[in-house]
Amino acid sequence: MNYIVLDLEWNQSGTPEGNNEKIPFEIIEIGAVKLNEDKVMIDEFSALIKPRIYKTMHYVTGKLVHIKMQELKHEQPFEDVIGRFKEWCGNDVIYCTWGPLDLTELQRNMKYYGIDTFSDGPFAFYDVQKLFAIDSGNRADRVSLETAVDRLGIHKDIPFHRAFSDAYYTAKVFGVLKGEEIMDYVSYDTFTPPRDKEHEVHRIFKDYDKYITRTFTTRENLLADREVKSTNCYLCDKISAKEVKLFAPTGKYYIGVSYCENHGYIKTKIRIRKSDDGGIYAVKTQRQITREDAESILERSNKVKETKPKGRITKKS
């Protein structure tokens, strides 16, 4: 088994009317490093790509990556490059990226050109940015790649903001994170959601539970599903008292709080997402929280429901 640490650079339209909804980000460079199972670098991949969708370099992209459109005109098209890349990767691999977007956008480009994507459903990968935050003791501290490199004292011997160099530094950071506990925290790419209930994802981590649902035709159908709306304790599956009913602070997710006699307060969060084929699916997480956290969520709920009387979290013995 090898690790493929990859990074992409992509271009986009400079105007809303010029945007292609099927491929809003056109990949113009792929860079990757191959690590063996001991996280030792054993090979590298780097390729520029001839653009077909967006023929003008977006000013932000050009400023960051220092690539001019003239440099890309004589490069290979995406189909050729991705074919070489997939062959270079091999079969027994785990992908690693800095942040969660690269694999999704790479597969969106693949689908646009009629190329088979990496999987016919969600698949595990390592989001090294998330792993670094967990290892640092602050899960919410999603820092830039260069900040992580500086904090770890990694020598900077090539410039940032090109696909290969960012893959190279991501691999360096990944190599430092060697604890078995950290390696348990896989992420899941959901460009292709589960096709049916049998292929849904259920994963209990050390401090939270993740459930990725199959696709539904409507949000109403999704939220009516028994397993989706359940707030039972994920640790013992015991029916738990609802302290804060599921509510939507925004249109993108719902949160609620229940109380388990064995494991205390449990926060449920349901993120609603759209699949590329127009379906609706959810990523549901549950984790233990403190009574103070539960009170804070209740306050948010009351602000959303201003017309309803405020409740309170009852103290548990």
Question: Please, what are the averages of pLDDT over each run of 10 residues along the chain (317 residues)?
Answer: 97 92 96 97 97 89 82 95 97 96 97 96 97 90 95 92 95 90 94 95 95 96 94 91 91 92 96 92 97 95 73 60
* CB 298, CB 312: distance < 8 Å: yes
Class of the CATH domain delimited by 2-183: alpha beta
Residue spans of the domains in the chain: they are 2-183, 198-304
Q: Which tokens is 222 given?
A: 């999704």
Q: What is the pLDDT of residue 181?
A: 87
Q: What is the pLDDT of residue 314?
A: 63
Q: What is the pLDDT of residue 19?
A: 94
Q: What is the pLDDT of residue 138?
A: 86
**CA separation for the pair 196, 205 (Å, rounded):** 23
Beginning with the edge strand found earlier in the chain, give each strand of the sheet holding 187-189 in spatial order: 41-48, 26-35, 2-11, 93-97, 123-127, 187-189
pTM: 0.90
Q: What is the β-pairing status of strands 93-97 and 123-127?
A: parallel
Q: What is the pLDDT of residue 315?
A: 61
**CA separation for the pair 121, 200 (Å, rounded):** 9
**CA separation for the pair 278, 296 (Å, rounded):** 35
